[in-house]
Homo-oligomer: A and B are copies of this chain.
Amino acid sequence: MKVSELAKAYGTTPDTVRYYTRLKLLNPIKSENGYKYYPPTEVSRFKFILSARQLGFSVSDIQQIVDEASHGKAACPLVRALIKERLAETEKQFLAMLKLRENMSSALEQWECKEDKAPTSTMVCHLIDSFEPLNEEEPSDEK
């Protein structure tokens, strides 16, 4: 398969295929005309990369995994370790987004009935300046 065929076959873009190829994650065969051709083993590797990306692995993670496997070792322990890390990060980001989302919609609501005001030398926008976050800190277990 050629670059664009491979991309189309899996619903991505030629640039993505080229990107992985630049990083040597994919190793196509160069034909006489200079085009890259991806044999079945490379096609299945591409499928693998896409699956791993969908699971939240970074491209650098995938490089490590592929490297491990290319030495004949089972990459499974590494894969398990990495996904724990990535899951923890995702959890953190997820909570941050949750809070951000709450604050944003709270702001939108608070601003609904506020008037416009012209700026001053010390105030760019009174809406943003006056915004009160919902719950700055959970009361946790304070009695």
Question: Chain A interface (Cβ within 8 Å of chain B)?
Answer: 40-41, 44-45, 48, 51-52, 54-56, 65-66, 69-70, 72-77, 79-80, 83-84, 86-87, 90-91, 93-94, 97-98, 100-101, 103-105, 107-108, 111, 114-119, 121-129, 131, 133
Contacts and interface: CB of A to CB of B under 8 A. Distances in A.
Nearest to A125: B75
B44 A104 contact: no
> Which DSSP category, helix, strand, loop or mixed, fits chain A's interface?
helix
A119 B87 contact: no
Given A76-B125, A100-B56, A122-B44, A87 B66 contact: no
Contact of A97 (B77, B97, B133): B97
Contacts of A90: 97, 100-101, 104
Nearest to A48: B124
